[in-house]
Amino acid sequence: MGRRFELVTVVLPWSGQAVFCRGELDGLPVFGWRGRPGAVPAGLCTRRQLRAEGLRPGGADPVALLVFGHRRAARSVEVCPLWRRETARAVRPMTPARWLAIEAALRARRFCRTHLGHVDHVVRGPLRQCSDCYVGQVA
């Protein structure tokens, strides 16, 4: 079984507000998923939620943790960090040089080492062969 958290009251240092949480882990308050006691207070976001709003943590340390379980994965529990929305910074804009670097990296993923050419799909495996070279080698 996973770790069980009991509801405790903590005072958030950034707002002075007393909220219920599921305890502490590594000195950070642990909150549960929405709609339950000990749920995440307003203003805290995961990295993906920040990114969806065009923000990033900006080097700040997480201020809390979110714990949630997976129903299908043998009742495993996952913990992810939470950041304050107020301290988040805007995502840096893509520059032409960054676009070129991404295009070069994606092009490198489509390079077959056997026939030394580019293909229309991502090559996989330890030999980095395209599907035609792999089928020719197996047959």
Average the pLDDT over 96-108 and give the result: 95
The pLDDT of residue 79: 86
Nearest to 5 by CA among 41, 36, 48: 36
Cα dihedral sign, 114-116-117-122: positive
What is the band of 103 on the pLDDT scale with cuts at 50, 70, 90?
very high
